[in-house]
Structure 1
């Protein structure tokens, strides 16, 4: 496709990824940006749900929402939770901020790489952050026993685990996370961030939320925006025993949730079947997309249970250059991981999307790779170096190996 007209300098400003709005404002007329950067559920809400939201948009924008306690009670009735064990906020990042201010006093242990706010937020308030490095040779999988020993050696008073972890997509079985919480029952706090756990399909009931609310020092974090494909609404919640949940809840502003969030909470119960369908479709797409990516010569694809896939680029590729090239020439927005602690720009996190969008991503990556001499395919002699295949050659080879 022709150049998009997007000013890629936008991608080089600040520590976090540029917003979709920043990019779309700088794009040429009629350019559609395919977002492989922001980890959003592409199948939910359904078009019918968006139509329902549109019909009620005037009232949503015109009137105050209910107070947060009323919206929280409705969410709890839908999800089968006790309101005293839940605090709902304007996104999980707001909850991380309040957890840091109210519950982290001295130090916090966190495996890296992971979601950046778990390191950045306590560092900004002068806490000691004990970073436990995950190893590429292990596929960035967290060994909980090694992590517990690290916490004891450092004397960390708070421990955080993200399950599923961002950006690598590793999943920890529920029984192991429960054992981890019990081993650290003497800490000030144990946080299990389950923002992406709904996308996992390895266990029927993966969440440790019900186990957290009966323990004295455990918090489980949830992100509704990621699960429901509505990042713009900014809503999430935590589960903990009533003392912890009440302490956080009292600190939150009375009207910290907007009317759009309230509308969606009241819609969830009517669309539970569609939500479950969206998760099944996403699991299917994750397997398919991982297989497609694995066919690119020299690309390492890490197993994932999230709605994203971590890849390591061929040695001669630059993650920053590839990101800029894809958005400028193919309208494909990706996330290179050079600004994530514990990673480099050779790694890229790619959000799971439907096949037609993956075709566009693959086209762009092959187009970028065509400027390099490539490693051989596995079935070719080591000295028979080839260029990166065109999309036609890629498709033909895929069909031959099917």
Structure 2
């Protein structure tokens, strides 16, 4: 009766709402640092644009996302017909999986990385080859290349990687792409690219010109603070975009989402301010962790991965003290919050880790 491919999958469990947690623990305030959201919100121009818009609820939205498409094309120097828009990157991951993966196929990904890559390969009946990150929390590109065979259709590269925050350089990624077979789609997920400050980060639109099998993903959910509007986009060769477009639902981006994204895009000063504040907090957190000798992965994103062999315990202690963070198998991922909040959290982490600091093996 049910699709066999779903047997080992579980539905996404959002857990209690922040308000429910606050009440359950008797907290006056709960700082949400578990979902890599932009703690500074969205540009004030977004609210103005939405309030000034004529809703026209009876009409379908612009199926082509025309205003966004035109603006981004000029900013990025990529032709308009090489864009595809979706309900956040989650939907685009679904569409890529649907377009290129089937039973008998395989895909390659790092581990840990964004879970949705694995989830939708399973739904399509494709095999997943999870390649552990190296000791520095980075993609093991050599091992990922070795895992590619004649059944491989898609390779996922998250850069900066979620949850480790580490990144691949332009040269590393270019060399990797040179060795991937041309008939294998490489998806480069750059959800956190706007927080990057490294000079040697990949110039992905440049790499697209040399590698027609490369798909680049970006989103308005992170640096632009539009997570609730669910809008992201893919860049690739026209051949690949056309193929993915075959499985895209029409009118998939609501009118208000398009308006919000366009308004956010016009206010680069606000985004730059968010990025600057994130960098300042990142440096502050890194200095603290170094001083306390608490192991972590250096990050280029708006979150940091702290290594510990007791992640659930640490996360629970933080929750009881008003901070919601995300535990993983080998550590905790903490969104880089506002400076005042992070100052309090660091004092708490200092006490927690002074009790029994431990660095797990990968």
Q: Please give the TM-score of this superposition, normalised by the length of structure 2.
A: 0.84
SS in 1 for 2:138: coil
- Which residue matches 1:121? 120
Conserved in 1, the CA contact under 8 Å of 2:27 and 2:322? no
Q: Aligned partners of 1:204 and 1:277: how far apart in 2?
A: 22
Conserved in 2, the CA contact under 8 Å of 1:72 and 1:87? no
2:190 pairs with 1:191: no
2:174 pairs with 1:178: yes
Task: Name stretches of at least 5 consecutive residues in structure 1 with no aligned partner.
Answer: 1-13, 338-343, 377-402
**Structure-2 change in CA distance of 1:207 and 1:260 (3 Å):** farther
- Which residue matches 2:32? 35
**Structure-2 change in CA distance of 1:230 and 1:33 (3 Å):** farther
**Structure-2 change in CA distance of 1:359 and 1:54 (3 Å):** farther
Q: Aligned partners of 1:61 and 1:232: how far apart in 2?
A: 20
Task: Name stretches of at least 5 consecutive residues in structure 2 with no aligned partner.
Answer: 1-9
Conserved in 2, the CA contact under 8 Å of 1:160 and 1:190? yes
Q: Aligned partners of 1:324 and 1:200: how far apart in 2?
A: 30
**Structure-2 change in CA distance of 1:171 and 1:279 (3 Å):** same
Conserved in 2, the CA contact under 8 Å of 1:302 and 1:311? yes
- Which residue matches 2:232? 236
**Structure-2 change in CA distance of 1:32 and 1:209 (3 Å):** farther
Alpha-carbon RMSD across the aligned residues, in angstroms, is 2.8
- Which residue matches 1:332? 323
2:272 pairs with 1:279: no
1:321 to 297, 306, 313: 313
Q: 1:253 Cα shift?
A: 2.1
Render the CA deviation track for 1:31-54: whole Å, top value 9, x for unaligned.
3321211112233524x3355256
SS in 2 for 1:157: strand
Conserved in 2, the CA contact under 8 Å of 1:213 and 1:239? no
Q: Aligned partners of 1:75 and 1:236: how far apart in 2?
A: 14
**Structure-2 change in CA distance of 1:169 and 1:375 (3 Å):** closer
Greater Rg by CA:
1
Render the CA deviation track for 1:146-190: whole Å, top value 9, x for unaligned.
4322325x8533222111111111111123212222211333311
Q: Aligned partners of 1:38 and 1:79: how far apart in 2?
A: 28
Render the CA deviation track for 1:220-265: whole Å, top value 9, x for unaligned.
1112212312211111111111111122224222211123321123
2:295 pairs with 1:303: no
2:261 pairs with 1:262: no
Conserved in 1, the CA contact under 8 Å of 2:154 and 2:185? yes
Render the CA deviation track for 1:310-344: whole Å, top value 9, x for unaligned.
1112x5xx3212222322x322110001xxxxxx2
Q: Please give the TM-score of this superposition, normalised by the length of structure 1.
A: 0.76
- Which residue matches 2:345? 361
Equivalent residues, number: 343
- Which residue matches 2:83? 86
